[in-house]
Amino acid sequence: MSTTRFLTGITTTGTPHLGNFVGSIRPSVAASLTPGVQSFYFLADYHALIKCEDPVRIQRSTLEIAASWLAAGLNPEKVTFYRQSDIPEIPELTWLLTCVTGKGVLNRAHAYKASVDKNTAAGREHDDGVTAGLFMYPVLMGADILMFKAHKVPVGRDQIQHIEMARDMAASFNHLYGEHFVLPEAAIDDHVATLPGLDGRKMSKSYDNTIPLFSSRAQLQKLIGGILTDSRAPGEAKEVEGSALFQIYQAFATPEETEALRKAYADGIAWGDAKHLLLERVDQVIAPMRAQYEELIHNPARIEQTLLAGAERARALATPFIRELRSAVGLRSLVQASTAAKPAKAAKAALPAFKQYREADGKFYFKLVAADGRLLLQSTGFDAPKEAGQAIAQLQKDSAALQTLAPRLAPVDGVEAAEVTAALQALAEAAAA
């Protein structure tokens, strides 16, 4: 199977701005439409708690970010779009990873080190004002990524270290307990522009120089009017180099349009006219999405429903996987046969299996057992072994056969349908590999 799985998270502390659109939302939506790609996008609201203690802001930001992504064309039928805090398996995995992560590794995380350096420079105690949440940030992020076996993680350069840490956590865990995790890689797109903000520095909420993505047209006009320019008069040639206005225009315009503006700069276009061109060009892209956004943001129930449906799909993977991981580390039933943590063995044992057998009643049965030995499916009795074999073959081929075979299956307590489906898919994938 050649599907590549992409996963990325968006921390829910702010209002999306044009820089987020150009740097993350637009390329992610485009990537999600590529054939052979499976995408997981989620709202990292547990991460938000690390930086933000304002519950109203967290909730509002979650709504705005979800509405922005959907308005920008993210199709929740095609991608798995969910809210981190709807997946209780993620904090559970965080703990398992915490126990295989060196404290020294976390000491070296850039964000944590920056806080320590700042304290040291100010003559304060090392960890002054640093929460354990900030310290643990990379482990929570590792759980986000490893839970869904992501191959590629599209992030900004400032996040590369976190992906490398996730990779190390996966490798340590696999080494100790068998091959359970995929080793992820950062995906950095060098073609994606970093947008300058109103003052010419990188557009970022920490610089307070942003243009919100879904400003009204009037607001947009006002903000664009405030973009820093030099004092060259109309008729004087202007520099495109270092012009925030030009760079923002370029991020929204075609190459031909960009060339035309470059020429207009050389010909001495007035700043007022250039700002007008920028307003029109940006608004042309934003206006159709803005209508969508307005509709969504006034309908939080619909977004809530979309996110819950996404969480359900995500959990169909996370629930059986965390069960497998718990069992791998030894958090398992006392009656289950103990297996040593031999990586090679564990890797092989990590697949569910069909078992066929004959009962005292003379009939032929089969069952599906999970990697950890738990019963997932139990058939009723067949008259001939061939019939049982055919039923197994059908299930191995397509988990949809569960429906047609339902009358031949006996209920199994405490097993969710999603888990059975996931087990069958894992078998099909292993067979195809």
Q: Is 11 annotated as a binding residue?
A: yes
Q: Is 157 annotated as a binding residue?
A: yes
Q: How many CB atoms lie within 10 A of CB 396?
A: 15
Give the shortest CB-42-to-ligand TRP separation in angstroms.
Answer: 8
Give the shortest CB-420-to-ligand TRP separation in angstroms.
Answer: 29
Q: Is 156 annotated as a binding residue?
A: yes
The number of C-alpha atoms within 13 Å of 1 and in the hemisphere containing its C-beta is 14
Please list, in sequence order, all residues whose beta carbon lies within 8 angstroms of the beta carbon of residue 255, skipping any fewer than 6 positions away.
none
Pairing state between β 364-369 and 353-358? antiparallel
Give the shortest CB-266-to-ligand TRP separation in angstroms.
Answer: 38
Q: Is 206 annotated as a binding residue?
A: yes
Q: Tell me the residue number closest to ligand TRP, measured at CB.
A: 9
First-to-final CA distance of the chain: 6
Q: Is 195 annotated as a binding residue?
A: yes
The residue among 88 and 330 lying less far from ligand TRP, judged by its C-beta, is 88
The residue among 5 and 232 lying less far from ligand TRP, judged by its C-beta, is 5
CB 203 within 8 A of CB 17: yes
CB 229 within 8 A of CB 243: yes
Interface contacts to ligand TRP, rule CB under 6 A: 7-9, 11, 44, 47, 141, 144-145, 153, 155, 159
Give the shortest CB-141-to-ligand TRP separation in angstroms.
Answer: 4
The residue among 187 and 341 lying less far from ligand TRP, judged by its C-beta, is 187
Give the shortest CB-184-to-ligand TRP separation in angstroms.
Answer: 8
Q: Is 144 annotated as a binding residue?
A: yes
**Neighbour order of strands in the sheet with 185-187:** 80-83, 37-44, 4-11, 152-154, 185-187
The residue among 11 and 61 lying less far from ligand TRP, judged by its C-beta, is 11
Give the DSSP H or E segment for 39: strand 37-44
Largest CA distance in the chain: 98
The residue among 154 and 352 lying less far from ligand TRP, judged by its C-beta, is 154
Give the shortest CB-304-to-ligand TRP separation in angstroms.
Answer: 21
Give the shortest CB-11-to-ligand TRP separation in angstroms.
Answer: 5
Amino acid at 223: L
Give the DSSP H or E segment for 9: strand 4-11
Which of 264, 230, 263 lies closest to 244 in space, CA to CA?
A: 230
The residue among 159 and 250 lying less far from ligand TRP, judged by its C-beta, is 159
Q: For 23, phi and psi rounded to 5 degrees? A: -85, -25
Q: Is 28 annotated as a binding residue?
A: no
Q: Is 299 annotated as a binding residue?
A: no
The residue among 42 and 265 lying less far from ligand TRP, judged by its C-beta, is 42
Cα angle value 152/307/62 (rounded, 5°): 85
Cα angle value 320/324/330 (rounded, 5°): 145
Q: Is 332 annotated as a binding residue?
A: no
Query: How far apart (Å, rounded) are the C-alpha atoms in residues 393 and 370?
Result: 17
Give the shortest CB-137-to-ligand TRP separation in angstroms.
Answer: 7
Query: How far apart (Å, rounded) are the C-alpha atoms in residues 235 and 45?
Result: 50
Q: Is 203 annotated as a binding residue?
A: yes
The residue among 74 and 141 lying less far from ligand TRP, judged by its C-beta, is 141
Pairing state between β 375-379 and 409-410? antiparallel
Query: How far apart (Å, rounded) are the C-alpha atoms in residues 174 and 311?
Result: 26
The annotated binding site for L-tryptophan is made up of 144
The annotated binding site for ATP is made up of 11-13, 19-20, 156-158, 195, 202-206
The annotated binding site is made up of 11-13, 19-20, 144, 156-158, 195, 202-206
